[in-house]
Chain A
């Protein structure tokens, strides 16, 4: 029994080790170490705003801020000297601040855009019902008018001898 347990433990350790060994191969990027994970989270929140129906103008403002953060991040990465550490920390703090702003705005946009999309959908379907009612009324008036016209024409007929 103990031998089976030790074999299972060995297999589990081997499996974990192989997973750990494979992980670096799966990460292909050259810059993954340098790019803050915060960027990824912020991008995901912008995607949420987009899928909620935010307009290109609204998204454009967020993209502008994201590119600003990217530039600052690149500037911060260039500061490698020890005496530039403070400036680097300031830039990184600015990047974090911009990304947090973008995340907050994206969250607000998601709420606003989803509500707007929902209302647009409701309005579109309501207009569909209104259009159907109007169409039916027009049809009723048109058929009524046509019938009256036919009756009038019938009574205006004269019998002519051939």
Chain B
């Protein structure tokens, strides 16, 4: 004689199957990685580590040899290790900035580059101390000749501005694409090409006379 009646057995089997389905769903959710938004953050902070005080004495006019302290930062939220590069470019008012829609970089000349491998969820911040070591004024046009960034000297070519107004440093985020084995401006997430860039304007109205 059976201890459990056939009706009870059917009920127990139904309960077991229901619990099995629920537990299998929980196990699937627990073991399957959730899709997340993939992106980078690029930022530049001023001398006091805040989004202010980008210029010495809050004066946008930078003098020869005057050090300017910023902090450049990148956060990797791509879910994987990334090789990132911040390109520092110098431009004037007329040069094209990067194009967000077409994901095109600025044609401004590259001054310096900072490269690093980054882990997922890692923020990499580096001090960025720069100064204009040499600039010359020729016929009302100021040309920056030498820029010093973190104790390294960079020769600049073909960047001038009328009366030294509206120069800018453009910071672009490039990432290494394993598919193409090359650095590309921005990154690809969800089939879309996205870019991150910043620019800070400044003046250089006290160059040496040619």
Q: State the A residues within 8 Å of B (CB).
A: 26-32, 35, 37, 39-40, 43-44, 46-47, 50-51, 56, 59-60, 62-63, 66-67, 70, 74, 120-121, 124-125, 127-129, 131-133, 135-136, 139-140, 143
Q: Give the residues in chain A near B180, CB-CB below 8 Å.
A: 26
Q: Give the residues in chain B near A37, CB-CB below 8 Å.
A: 181
A140–B121 Cα distance when bound, in Å, is: 48
Given contacts A47-B80, A63-B118, A129-B20, contact A120 B31 (CB under 8 A): yes
A59–B119 Cα distance when bound, in Å, is: 8
Q: Does B15 contact A (CB under 8 A)?
A: yes
Given contacts A121-B31, A132-B23, contact A28 B80 (CB under 8 A): no
**A139 partner, pick from B15, B113, B174, beta carbons under 8 A:** B15
Q: Does B26 contact A (CB under 8 A)?
A: yes
Main secondary structure of the interface of B (DSSP, over half): mixed
A128–B16 Cα distance when bound, in Å, is: 11
> What count of chain B residues pass the 8 Å CB interface test?
40
Chain B residue at smallest Cβ distance from A120: B31
A31 touches B119 (CB 8 A): no
Q: Give the residues in chain A near B119, CB-CB below 8 Å.
A: 56, 59-60, 63
B16 touches A136 (CB 8 A): yes
A66–B8 Cα distance when bound, in Å, is: 63
B178 touches A40 (CB 8 A): yes
11 A-B pairs with CB atoms under 8 Å apart are A31-B113, A37-B181, A39-B83, A50-B81, A50-B120, A66-B81, A125-B24, A125-B31, A127-B27, A128-B27, A136-B19
Given contacts A28-B105, A30-B110, A128-B26, contact A70 B15 (CB under 8 A): no
User: Binary interface profile of B, 175-188, with partner A (CB < 8 Å = 1, else 0)?
Assistant: 01010111111000
B20 touches A139 (CB 8 A): no
B19 touches A135 (CB 8 A): yes
User: Binary interface profile of B, 73-98, with partner A (CB < 8 Å = 1, else 0)?
Assistant: 00000001101010100000000000
Q: Which residue among B85, B115, B117, B119 has the maximum number of chain A CB atoms within 10 Å of its CB? A: B117
Q: What is the distance, in angstroms, from B42's C-beta to the closest C-beta of chain A?
A: 17
Chain B residue at smallest Cβ distance from A74: B115
Given contacts A28-B185, A131-B23, A136-B16, contact A44 B116 (CB under 8 A): no
Q: Does B129 contact A (CB under 8 A)?
A: no
Chain B residue at smallest Cβ distance from A65: B117
B105 touches A131 (CB 8 A): no
